[in-house]
Structure 1
Amino acid sequence: MQYSAAQWSMRLKVRYLDTSGPSMARRSTRPWERRHLLSTDWGVCAGSGADDFRSPPAEARIMNFDLNSSEFWDRQATRKEVSRVFDICYGCTLCHTLCPSFVDLFRLMDENFGETDALQDEQVKQVVDLCYQCKLCYTICPYVPPHEWDIDFPRTIMRAHLVDAKQGGSRFADRIFGDTDRVGGLASWAAPLVNWANQNSFLRGLMEKSLGVHRDRLLPTFHSETFAKWIRKRPAPPKGNGEGKVALFYTCTVNYNEPEIGKAAVAVFQKNGIEYVIPEQQCCGLPFLDGGLVDRARKKIKSNVAALSQAVRQGYKIVAPSASCSYMLKRDYPRFLPTDDSRLVAENTYDLSEYLVTVHERGRLDLGFSQKIGKIRYHQPCHLKAQNIGFKAQELMQLIPAAEISRMQCCSGHDGSWSVKKENFEASMKVGKPLFKFLKTPGACTVTDCPLSAIQVQQGTGKKPVHPIVVLARAYGLVADETTSDGDRRSSPSLSPD
């Protein structure tokens, strides 16, 4: 039997008829609710029940998210929709241990006897600010579109965040760090100085006071030679042998902080006769959305769609090595820029491993691996899980002879700029705790598709993971393998394929 939101509210009130007062433990009477309440750590991981649920197909995701509608930007209408979603989520509680946002939501609802209308504006903002857009709740929610309740918690929270930023103004730090191309360009120009400053305790204290960046947060390393500079120095890429044509959307993180990922991708393309081009591109726009700066994000989206749609029309598939960026292109571009070109880009975008698996399925992937890899501890990031494509990186690495792969899907807790902020740092480390425990395996190669998750894992374990494409390049013998004193195996940061 299905219940309306009002019926759910009535059921909750009946459950509160207890002389000792409201209790989350008493409220959760269903077995799957009790199972989640047994966990003391945030984060749904493999084996916790999350694998029992799957996102609906992409074409079923119909939730109304019209930025051109005046109602979208109306604060009262937004609050009404937020209350509706909160009410239904409170009647379910499947996501109780998923993240700090749900923990605080259900606690505040308990304190207000299940009445969403009783929540104060600052309490709603508290829940909104704790959501870091991992999308994991969407992957396990039974009420997402096309269900009649039309629940999309992450985008409802994003709407509230955007409305608040538009009417109340954005933070100075969000305007600075949201512009990753400008920050990355300046930082790469003075990379040695910036990297030193990011490790100086006195300067980090000043940064915490002025920009709100937690003094203990491990920050990305910048490189004087970005991926874009490296690729421009190389001769024009050779024509492929018909195995595929890709346009590499290398992402700002790879460009400024992890250029070896882009270099490994180029080497693997050439090894497999895949023709590649590097289209004009900017940051995908997600960092600006994190700060509520939707107009600035849409400018970047429009610029990227213009360049990438042209590449698609020339027969290229778009591949991105960062899970957050490929998710943005696939799922969010058509929402923030509802045009035919934007939908064309979304329909032709692949995660990097996802694309290479399609090459293998056609029997065209070179399986001549010359190097052994051994034990791999693989973390699938949230934004890759939310794409509902399976475990393509794991499938790819399993093609390497004698590779022993273990996988975990816990959230790392980094989540863009959220964990960088001083008010969120400790919570972010708590979110990542189960993953850190899993990855602390001596002698194993730790792997993740998300460069930002790699920073979080390095902060929590002391071991920096590598990207699956680097593992593949290493197995081909295209990248040198290094073993550190603690037994952690990593890749050489330099790569120069012929």
Structure 2
Amino acid sequence: MDSRDELAARLDACQKCNMCTAQCPVAKVNPRFIGPKGLGPDMERFRRGQINLDETMLDDCSNCKTCELTCPSGVKITEMILGARRAASKARHKNTMGLRLGLRGYILGRNEYLGKLGVIWPTLTNQVLKIKLVRLAIDKTLSISKNGPLPAYGKPLKIQPDKVGIGTNTNKQVVYFPGCYTRFNEGDTGRILIRLLEHLGYKTIVPDFHCCGLPLEANGQFGKADKNGRYNLELMRPYLEAGIPVITSCTSCGLTLKEDYPKLETSSAQLIGAQAYDLFEFLWQLHEKGELPLDFQEVRASYGYHPPCHLKAQGIGTPALRILGLIPGVKIRNLDAGCCGLSGSYGFKAEKYEKAMKIGSGLFEAINVGAEHGDFQSMTTECGVCKVQIVHGTGIPTVHPVRILAKAYRLID
């Protein structure tokens, strides 16, 4: 099937049911947004290699993947929208662009470099970013909202490359892809994860990966995103060829590895999709094989659980809920109250901040009501950015579920 026939088949699969737009978090709060059906399949019919749509409308899509989850025909709607944004990015570089927005996209797309700077002196960095005048200056110069949450920096996660080489017992080795947030903002989560896997008998390898590329893609820097992907795949290649799984603790990084990396033109791209696992997806498979120790201590605690959009898009259900449900004393309630609204760098942008808060309002209300009724005292979610937004919108303490599991194994207090 040539590309024109393939495009026609994808467009014909859209049944015009409008379910995607009805469920779109952005369309619910922004009446000017034409929705994923209009922005994806409908407009695709008129794009003959040209962008016939205001690029700001393309940027209104937060890439949460809700439309693809909702579509009864399996149409890759966000893939069409991202393709249009990629074409728009090429057209934009041929023309002049506002310096402020161009610089903002450059900065927001480079979480990795911001992280490396931020952790040089994290305490000072965090204090400076709390100063109102500094936030106002950033808002005026870069259009990064002065009201939005900014993740705090902490002790970075130490890289642990395989210095000895791949051993003979590859069944007890894993590669860990931590992602920028874990690496620079919440290194403790990564350290606990490594300690947990080692407790289960796994040697954990942490190569010096670049950013997965999703923030770059979200800010129109597709070429750099692809370059990062190829670099990371080359680091993974010897492990993938040896059949060693790649574990992620960030749902957005995990989705990128599973869905975007296989499209890159490298030999290892053919392996990554089947060998990339969310941490709890991996642990549940161990449990199903009878290889997960169940010597848990009782953990008397109650949590509300937020399933991130990019976890849902992986189609693996909620393995963290299943694993935590095995721990005696743990009470956990799946809120499933919609998108948090931050969507990577989407909610940091000044013109998107209010929309992001409206998108997350249903989740915030569900959390506040549950906490007020005593259903839970804390929240848990796998996505670091969702955690930042939940704390910003509700003030409720939020942790990664790996902390709860590590506590049950007596690895942390």
TM-score bracket, shorter-length normalisation? 0.7 to 0.9
Contact 1:165 1:293 in 2 (8 A): yes
Q: SS in structure 2 opposite 1:189?
A: coil
Alignment of 1:391 with 2:315, yes or no, is: no
Q: SS in structure 1 opposite 2:204?
A: strand
1:89-118 Cα offsets, whole Å, 9 max, x none, are 7652443242224753448999xxx99999
| 1:211-360 pair list within 5 angstroms | 211-223=142-154, 225-228=155-158, 244-335=172-263, 337-360=264-287
Alignment of 1:437 with 2:388, yes or no, is: no
| 1:47-58 pair list within 5 angstroms | none
Shift of residue 393 of structure 1?
A: 0.7
The alpha-carbon distance between structure 1 residues 242 and 366, as it changes in their structure 2 partners (threshold 3 A), is farther
For structure 1, the residue ranges without an aligned partner over 5 or more in a row are 1-61, 65-70, 72-79, 145-150, 481-498
Match of 2:77 among 136, 153, 157: 153
Measure, in 2, the Cα distance between the counterparts of 1:92 and 1:355: 35
Measure, in 1, the Cα distance between the counterparts of 2:176 and 2:170: 17
Q: SS in structure 2 opposite 1:404?
A: strand
Measure, in 2, the Cα distance between the counterparts of 1:423 and 1:188: 28
Question: Match for residue 107 of structure 2?
Answer: 176
Measure, in 2, the Cα distance between the counterparts of 1:343 and 1:213: 38
Match of 1:96 among 15, 22, 39: 22
Alignment of 1:472 with 2:405, yes or no, is: yes
Give, as a single letter, the amino acid of the residue that structure 1 aligns with 2:410: G
Measure, in 1, the Cα distance between the counterparts of 2:300 and 2:246: 28
Shift of residue 228 of structure 1?
A: 2.0
The alpha-carbon distance between structure 1 residues 180 and 314, as it changes in their structure 2 partners (threshold 3 A), is same
Question: Match for residue 33 of structure 1?
Answer: none
Measure, in 2, the Cα distance between the counterparts of 1:317 and 1:128: 35
Q: SS in structure 2 opposite 1:453?
A: helix
Question: Match for residue 202 of structure 1?
Answer: 133
Give, as a single letter, the amino acid of the residue that structure 1 aligns with 2:386: S
Q: SS in structure 1 opposite 2:339?
A: coil
| 1:374-385 pair list within 5 angstroms | 374-385=301-312
Alignment of 1:363 with 2:294, yes or no, is: no
Alignment of 1:134 with 2:60, yes or no, is: no
Question: Match for residue 37 of structure 1?
Answer: none
| 1:451-462 pair list within 5 angstroms | 451-462=384-395
Measure, in 2, the Cα distance between the counterparts of 1:261 and 1:274: 17
Question: Match for residue 381 of structure 2?
Answer: 448
The alpha-carbon distance between structure 1 residues 125 and 96, as it changes in their structure 2 partners (threshold 3 A), is farther
Question: Match for residue 56 of structure 1?
Answer: none
Contact 1:243 1:359 in 2 (8 A): no
The alpha-carbon distance between structure 1 residues 358 and 244, as it changes in their structure 2 partners (threshold 3 A), is farther
Give, as a single letter, the amino acid of the residue that structure 2 aligns with 1:404: K
Contact 1:279 1:311 in 2 (8 A): no
Give, as a single letter, the amino acid of the residue that structure 2 aligns with 1:361: E
For structure 2, the residue ranges without an aligned partner over 5 or more in a row are none
Give, as a single letter, the amino acid of the residue that structure 2 aligns with 1:305: L
* Rg larger in structure: 1
Alignment of 1:411 with 2:335, yes or no, is: no
Contact 1:101 1:131 in 2 (8 A): no
Shift of residue 338 of structure 1?
A: 3.3
Contact 1:289 1:297 in 2 (8 A): yes
The alpha-carbon distance between structure 1 residues 424 and 241, as it changes in their structure 2 partners (threshold 3 A), is same
Contact 1:264 1:469 in 2 (8 A): yes
The alpha-carbon distance between structure 1 residues 360 and 201, as it changes in their structure 2 partners (threshold 3 A), is same
Stretch deviating more after TM superposition (412-421 or 98-107) = 98-107
Give, as a single letter, the amino acid of the residue that structure 1 aligns with 2:294: L
The alpha-carbon distance between structure 1 residues 191 and 240, as it changes in their structure 2 partners (threshold 3 A), is farther
- Size of the aligned set, in residue pairs, is 389
Shift of residue 421 of structure 1?
A: 0.0
* TM-score, length of structure 1 as denominator length: 0.71
Give, as a single letter, the amino acid of the residue that structure 1 aligns with 2:244: Y
Measure, in 1, the Cα distance between the counterparts of 2:330 and 2:279: 20
Contact 1:240 1:273 in 2 (8 A): no
Question: Match for residue 185 of structure 1?
Answer: 116
The alpha-carbon distance between structure 1 residues 425 and 360, as it changes in their structure 2 partners (threshold 3 A), is same
Question: Match for residue 427 of structure 1?
Answer: 355
Stretch deviating more after TM superposition (241-250 or 186-195) = 241-250
Shift of residue 88 of structure 1?
A: 5.1
1:434-471 Cα offsets, whole Å, 9 max, x none, are 11122221552310010000001011110231111111
**Percent identity for Structure 1 against Structure 2:** 27
Shift of residue 354 of structure 1?
A: 0.4
Give, as a single letter, the amino acid of the residue that structure 2 aligns with 1:395: R
Measure, in 2, the Cα distance between the counterparts of 1:357 and 1:63: 40
Stretch deviating more after TM superposition (162-171 or 192-201) = 162-171
Shift of residue 330 of structure 1?
A: 0.4
RMSD after superposition? 3.4
Shift of residue 304 of structure 1?
A: 0.4
